[in-house]
Amino acid sequence: MDAPADAADADEQPPPARRVNLTPRQARQVRIVLASVLMAAMAAVLVIRLASRTSVLVVGVYGAALILCGVVIELSRNGRTRLGTWLLGLGLAAALAADWLLLP
């Protein structure tokens, strides 16, 4: 009688992991915090780059990145989290590419 019980235990598998979705409010908060952290990082990089080389182009590239982070924070506050995420990703990638390509 023990054999069927063991076979039943072997067939049991743990329940599949469920995907945890964020509520819209949580998603907005995550994007706001992420944009705020990236804004602080861009400000730190701006200070470091200005210490090594003073240039209007440096201020322009990193100033645009700081403005972009502020725009993403406002978009997230107004519920446009997907648009803000795409804008943040593409905008910061463009800022880093401009730094690499334009700034010596």
pLDDT at 54: 79
HEC sequence for 29-74:
HHHHHHHHHHHHHHHHHHHHHHHHCCCHHHHHHHHHHHHHHHHHHH
pLDDT at 8: 55
Residue scoring higher pLDDT (21 or 8): 21
pLDDT > 80? residue 85:
yes
Residue scoring higher pLDDT (83 or 5): 83
Give the domain ranges of the chain: 24-102
Residue 24 pLDDT class (50, 70, 90 cuts): confident
pLDDT > 70? residue 45:
yes
pLDDT at 17: 67
